[in-house]
Protein backbone atom coordinates (compact mmCIF):
# COMPACT_ATOMS: atom_id res chain seq x y z
CA UNK A 1 0.00 0.00 0.00
CA UNK A 2 1.63 3.22 -1.18
CA UNK A 3 0.95 6.33 0.85
CA UNK A 4 1.85 9.94 0.09
CA UNK A 5 1.32 12.27 3.04
CA UNK A 6 1.57 16.03 2.60
CA UNK A 7 2.45 18.44 5.42
CA UNK A 8 3.36 22.08 5.92
CA UNK A 9 0.30 23.84 4.56
CA UNK A 10 -1.68 26.58 6.27
CA UNK A 11 -2.44 30.28 6.22
CA UNK A 12 0.19 32.79 5.16
CA UNK A 13 0.14 36.48 4.29
CA UNK A 14 0.84 37.70 0.76
CA UNK A 15 4.57 37.87 0.17
CA UNK A 16 5.24 35.14 2.69
CA UNK A 17 6.71 31.68 2.33
CA UNK A 18 5.68 28.12 3.04
CA UNK A 19 7.44 24.81 2.62
CA UNK A 20 5.36 21.78 1.76
CA UNK A 21 6.66 18.28 2.30
CA UNK A 22 5.46 14.92 1.08
CA UNK A 23 6.52 11.68 2.70
CA UNK A 24 6.19 8.50 0.67
CA UNK A 25 5.91 4.98 2.03
CA UNK A 26 4.87 1.55 0.85
CA UNK A 27 6.30 -1.89 0.69
CA UNK A 28 6.63 -1.98 -3.10
CA UNK A 29 7.33 1.68 -3.61
CA UNK A 30 10.82 2.47 -4.86
CA UNK A 31 10.80 6.20 -4.38
CA UNK A 32 13.92 6.91 -6.36
CA UNK A 33 12.41 5.49 -9.56
CA UNK A 34 9.44 7.82 -9.57
CA UNK A 35 9.06 11.31 -10.88
CA UNK A 36 7.53 13.43 -8.13
CA UNK A 37 5.11 16.21 -8.83
CA UNK A 38 3.16 18.88 -7.01
CA UNK A 39 -0.26 19.82 -8.34
CA UNK A 40 -2.75 22.31 -7.04
CA UNK A 41 -6.46 22.89 -7.38
CA UNK A 42 -8.05 26.20 -6.58
CA UNK A 43 -11.79 26.51 -5.85
CA UNK A 44 -13.77 26.19 -9.05
CA UNK A 45 -10.73 25.36 -11.15
CA UNK A 46 -9.09 22.26 -12.53
CA UNK A 47 -6.01 20.62 -11.12
CA UNK A 48 -2.80 22.09 -12.49
CA UNK A 49 0.81 20.97 -12.40
CA UNK A 50 2.98 23.25 -10.27
CA UNK A 51 6.38 21.57 -10.28
CA UNK A 52 8.04 18.29 -11.22
CA UNK A 53 11.29 16.57 -10.37
CA UNK A 54 12.65 13.56 -12.21
CA UNK A 55 14.11 10.47 -10.55
CA UNK A 56 17.54 11.90 -11.32
CA UNK A 57 16.75 15.26 -9.74
CA UNK A 58 16.05 17.41 -12.79
CA UNK A 59 13.33 19.88 -11.91
CA UNK A 60 10.74 21.91 -13.71
CA UNK A 61 8.49 24.48 -12.13
CA UNK A 62 5.71 26.49 -13.68
CA UNK A 63 5.35 29.31 -11.19
CA UNK A 64 7.94 31.76 -12.61
CA UNK A 65 10.72 30.78 -10.26
CA UNK A 66 8.84 31.48 -7.04
CA UNK A 67 8.51 27.79 -6.21
CA UNK A 68 11.35 25.28 -5.94
CA UNK A 69 10.92 21.53 -5.84
CA UNK A 70 13.49 19.22 -4.30
CA UNK A 71 13.71 15.57 -3.28
CA UNK A 72 15.61 13.43 -0.80
CA UNK A 73 15.67 9.87 -2.09
CA UNK A 74 17.27 8.62 1.13
CA UNK A 75 14.32 9.89 3.16
CA UNK A 76 11.61 9.26 0.53
CA UNK A 77 10.50 12.86 0.66
CA UNK A 78 9.80 15.63 -1.81
CA UNK A 79 9.44 19.28 -0.86
CA UNK A 80 8.05 22.42 -2.41
CA UNK A 81 9.50 25.71 -1.22
CA UNK A 82 7.05 28.48 -2.02
CA UNK A 83 8.19 32.09 -1.82
CA UNK A 84 6.57 35.44 -2.58
CA UNK A 85 3.16 33.86 -2.20
CA UNK A 86 0.17 35.55 -3.78
CA UNK A 87 -3.56 35.20 -3.05
CA UNK A 88 -3.92 33.39 -6.37
CA UNK A 89 -1.68 30.64 -5.02
CA UNK A 90 -4.48 29.68 -2.66
CA UNK A 91 -5.40 26.08 -3.42
CA UNK A 92 -5.28 22.51 -2.23
CA UNK A 93 -1.83 21.18 -3.06
CA UNK A 94 -1.37 17.52 -3.97
CA UNK A 95 1.70 15.35 -4.00
CA UNK A 96 1.92 12.94 -6.93
CA UNK A 97 4.28 10.11 -7.81
CA UNK A 98 4.45 8.77 -11.35
CA UNK A 99 6.68 6.04 -12.75
CA UNK A 100 8.08 7.32 -16.06
CA UNK A 101 7.98 3.92 -17.76
CA UNK A 102 5.22 1.92 -16.07
CA UNK A 103 2.99 5.02 -15.76
CA UNK A 104 1.92 3.81 -12.31
CA UNK A 105 0.64 6.80 -10.39
CA UNK A 106 -0.16 7.65 -6.77
CA UNK A 107 -1.72 10.69 -5.12
CA UNK A 108 -1.69 12.21 -1.69
CA UNK A 109 -4.88 13.46 -0.07
CA UNK A 110 -3.93 17.10 -0.51
CA UNK A 111 -3.19 19.96 1.86
CA UNK A 112 -4.71 23.44 2.00
CA UNK A 113 -2.60 26.53 1.36
CA UNK A 114 -4.33 29.85 1.91
CA UNK A 115 -2.67 33.16 1.08
CA UNK A 116 -4.57 36.02 2.63
CA UNK A 117 -4.07 39.11 4.73
Each residue's pLDDT, cut to its tens digit, for the chain (117 residues) gives 889 999 999 999 999 999 999 999 986 779 999 999 999 999 999 999 999 999 988 877 767 789 999 999 999 999 999 999 999 999 999 999 999 898 899 999 999 999 999
Q: Is the separation of the CB atoms in 35 and 53 below 8 Å?
A: yes
Please give the pLDDT value at position 58: 82
Q: Is the separation of the CB atoms in 57 and 71 below 8 Å?
A: yes
Separation between Cα atoms, residue 73 and residue 64, nearest integer Å: 25
Please give the pLDDT value at position 27: 64
Q: Is the separation of the CB atoms in 36 and 69 below 8 Å?
A: yes
Please give the pLDDT value at position 57: 83
CA angle (80 as vertex; 77, 81 as ends), nearest 5:
130
Amino acid sequence: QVQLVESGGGLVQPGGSLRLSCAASGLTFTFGRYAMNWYRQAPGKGRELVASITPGGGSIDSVMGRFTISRDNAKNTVSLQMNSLKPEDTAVYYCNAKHPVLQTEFWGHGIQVTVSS
